[in-house]
Structure 1
Amino acid sequence: MISFEEAFEKVLSHTIELGTETLPLLSSTHRILAEDIMADRDFPPFNRSTKDGIAINYRAIEEGITEFPVQGVLSAGLSQQRLENASHCLEIMTGAVLPHDADTIIMYEETEISNGIAKITSTPKKGQNIHSQGSDIEKGEVILKKGTQITSAVIGVLASVGKHQVLVQKAPRICVISTGNELVEVHDTPEPHQIRKSNVISLSAALSNQRIAHELVHLPDVKEAIESKLKQVLEDFDVLMLSGGVSKGKFDYIPEVLNSLGVEKIFHRVAQRPGKPFWFGRHEKSGSVVFSFPGNPVSTFANYHVYFLSWLKVVNGDISTHIEVTLQEEVNPHPTLTLFLQVQTHWKGSKLHARLIKGNGSGDLVNLAQAHGFIKVPTGEKVFEKGQTFTFFPAS
């Protein structure tokens, strides 16, 4: 049995090359950018008004002028106009191009307009209410880095620079495999000795949240059937994600079969709770990686979020950082096991806070539905006091 730190490092060091593909902009959500994105123009591309009001030349203010004949009205989308007379003004709408020879915007609330004359009722500052060209981003600057996850906000940025086709990392081909004669389909009525499949359904939903296509396969507790199916999926998929069959039971054939098929065992059993029997390996021929999680619901769910999603970030070059949470109560560590404890989280000011969810062990599926994720509690002898910060793995 190895420590969590060693297991985590080994998982992250066994990545695969997925390659890249080009997708239409609106099909790229949740994928990972495979290129740096440059600004194709200044942002904003022109000096623009940030208020509805009037545009003036501040020299008139310095000369004591407070009433300005209105020369015209400028709307957003109109090409740049010119303030013909420095003692006049142009009405201007938010987003409109600042006219030539104007350098200050006074919002309507600080003016009185009557009979074509705008009277200023405040003391303006030169240059106010103007969003200057290039003040956000200059042309040629990197605005999105390779490895950025594409969110709806990122989609907007990509659209603003004309990226109607986006180069992204390919998603891994994943096969999610359940094992065990005790499992029946969700729509079936189980016998007293049976249970419905839930682990692989949770994993399937979690992968769907990541927009990762995958297939579901079930293996009975029959060694020959397991060997036949695993041989096929090792050739067809980048990742095998199994639930169950890796403990010490007489019918836990998975480790033995994987070894016979040329899958190198990187480790089996980790000093952690839940998920101690976790098995991880790599197929020597195809390069496929195998995440074989224990069969208990919480063990499977925790290992997926801690190990697989962290591994996927490295594979994708994801530049996002770990999330930290502040625990609002004390917690007892285990002297030899790293603990992954279920928590609910909330924001308090600028910090993410968490409180523990008391469960009934790695088989407590109902409590799992209430959790927002897991905190990692390192091994130790001393109690962690209230207010300590822990690494947080959000659940999807």
Structure 2
Amino acid sequence: VLEELKSQCHINSTPMEDIMKSHHILKEELKPQKNVYMSLYGKKKYLECLAMDKSEWPQSQQDIDLELKEARQDKNAMKEAVEEEKERYRASMEALAESYEKLQEKIKLVEGNLEVFEAKRAKFESRMALDPPAVKRALGTCDESIATLRSTLAGLQSHRAELEASVAKARVELAAMSKITGKKKTRGPSLKRLQEICAFLETQTGVRVVELSPERLRVEFLRSSQLSANVDQAAEFKLQLTLNFDPESRDEIRLASVKINNELFNIDDLVDQEVACTDVPYLILAVREKWVRCYPLLSEIDLLNRTHAIDWIQEECKLRVLVGRCGKAMVTLSVPRDYPATRGITLQDTPALQLTDLPDSGASLTDWVIYLEKKFAER
């Protein structure tokens, strides 16, 4: 290929050099030829006049000027044609010279590549002559590496596409979050006022609502001064109501179940009715009202439950207590429904137990349990 390029370049460059030399020679000969042309043209016109009859000679200066004008026009037309041909010839020469230079550059580049290729081929042939199987194995390893790299590249390109999609999604989410943050900044004072109002309402109503999930709410009935005022001893006695909503009911709010954290406080009657009706506000108000009413008694029972073996029957308002050593006796106390506002706890097993010196009518439930524990400890 290199030899063919060199041959073609030599064939093309030889006429080009001859043409350039001819162009220079013609340019040098142009001026004397122009003078010769003008001299011959004058002689031609003179001889034409001699050959014509004298009557046909130009009779006036105007006729002579007209012929001179026509001659000048012919000369100008010929000059323009020569100039056009010169421009075309010059453009061809420039294009040919540029092509020649590019061809020379390509030849030099091919010569350099050919030298590198010849060196690599000689090195490869020497290696093949030394150990052909090793070369084949190396080529196989290279092919496997290339295939692995192509597979890895395809995986990376796929991963890059996923990352670009994730970045685009993250940018959209970031823009949305920026808008939300802007709204939060503008609504900061309003949000603070609402939080203060919610805190005030929680303090006044004694109820706090906590969202556990889109389908679950926890209603906490807080302790208040109204509840603690009727209790002789402070106790950690809280009520939490968990409301589970039906996730399949989208058009309306529907309760699925209600759970309570306190076994002593029985609200099955309210729960069964309100789950069927799904009247959540009424359920919360009814539970709170019953909680406020029963809190003093239940908190006292909770304290007793920590130190004694008791069983509270809320439906009958009865408290069963195991007293004595190793709980050898069970005693049943009947408690008024509006206790502790109304006292008057009675012992249902009085004749059988044959107890004396019973507590007075104003005794509390704790007083009764202490009394029974003391009496049966003496036996």
- TM-score (norm. length: structure 1): 0.16
Q: Which has the higher helix share?
A: 2
Which structure is higher in RCO with an 8 Å CA cutoff and minimum separation 6? 1
